[in-house]
Amino acid sequence: MARRNRRYAVPGVEQGMQTLKANVMKQEGYTVNPDRPDDVKYEVAKELGVPLQHGNNGALTTESAGQIGGKIGGSMVREMIRLAQEQLANTEQQNK
């Protein structure tokens, strides 16, 4: 699978997002190489029974690819929401 050229809304957050992915997936119980957090997708695919391989995955269905990305992305979104709620609660506490 070729890595997509991602564009984030905030410039310069690429490394932070990779760190977030590594931390979240570790919390989910996966083995993550901090230098290559994208490789966790192979472990997730194996757990889900999706035949993801290094290299060309042209025969992989969109549904199967979505299962992998959904598991990883969903976990990251939940953590970002938790962090935002925590930050809001702290801000409200400081304003009292």
Q: In the block, which residue shows the tokens 């979104």?
A: 77
CB 46 within 8 A of CB 65: no
Tokens 């035949």 — which residue? 51
Tens digit of each residue's pLDDT, the chain (96 residues)? 455 667 889 999 988 999 999 999 999 999 999 889 989 999 999 999 999 999 889 889 999 999 999 999 999 999 999 999 999 999 888 887
Taking a C-beta distance cutoff of 8 angstroms, is the pair 43, 54 a contact?
A: no
Tell me the C-alpha distance between 88 and 93, whole Å. 9
CB-CB contact of 18 with 37 (8 Å): yes
Domain-wise residue ranges, the chain: 14-94
Report yes or no: 48 and 71 within 8 Å, Cβ to Cβ: yes
